[in-house]
Amino acid sequence: MGGMIQKAARFLRIGQLPDLLRTKIGAEGGFLWLEEGILVTAILRDFKAPGTFCGYRRISFLGFAAMTQRRMVVSARFFNQASMDVDYDGPRFKDITFSLDGKHLSLSFNAAGFLPNAAGEVTLRLGVSDLPKATQILRQKGARGFGEPCSAGNGSLPVVH
């Protein structure tokens, strides 16, 4: 079913990397890995932010995930938005725990480190088709959670609703 969703998303240009960001990343040296029109599921546990509280909430979106020499960018939208732009060498990359679950790449972190006035656990599950390539790049960049220590990292998570 994931393949059918990706084909429909590509056809309708849902979950595609915006042209402005595509140009900016191209100027930074291009992509190491890019998947568009993928299913992104945000799972919130004991999440608190101004105007929001939930013990458990699961929200699915269509979006994209990209990795460059310098950073990882994930963004997805439907009625809400989940997005992350993390530099591998900045302070926040080490706060993300990466894991594999079947055909999904999961990024888990404490919301307090990424969102102002927020608390709780957030997991972004990415339904990617080239999991080995994504995993290889993240390991090379020092990702934590694949059984290897993480190096320092930075980024921002502008919105998780």
Express each pLDDT in 73-98 by its tens digit: 999 876 567 788 999 998 899 999 99
Contacts of 105 (CB under 8 A, 6+ apart): 65, 98, 99, 125, 126, 128, 131, 134, 135
Predicted structure pTM score: 0.81
Asked, for residue 161, whether it belongs to a domain, the answer is no
Asked, for residue 55, whether it belongs to a domain, the answer is yes
**Dihedral pair phi/psi, residue 18, rounded to 5°:** -60, 145
CATH number at residue 25: 2.30.29
Cα gap 33→83, rounded to integer Å: 17
Residues of the chain scoring pLDDT < 70:
1-3, 5-6, 8-10, 78-80, 146-161
Domain count across the chain: 1
Asked, for residue 144, whether it belongs to a domain, the answer is yes
| Domain encompassing residue 13 | 2-156
Specify the pLDDT at position 9: 64
Cα gap 106→33, rounded to integer Å: 16
Query: What percent of the chain is predicted at pLDDT more than 70?
Result: 83
**Of the candidates 103, 109, 106, 67, which has an alpha carbon nearest to the alpha carbon of residue 88?**
67
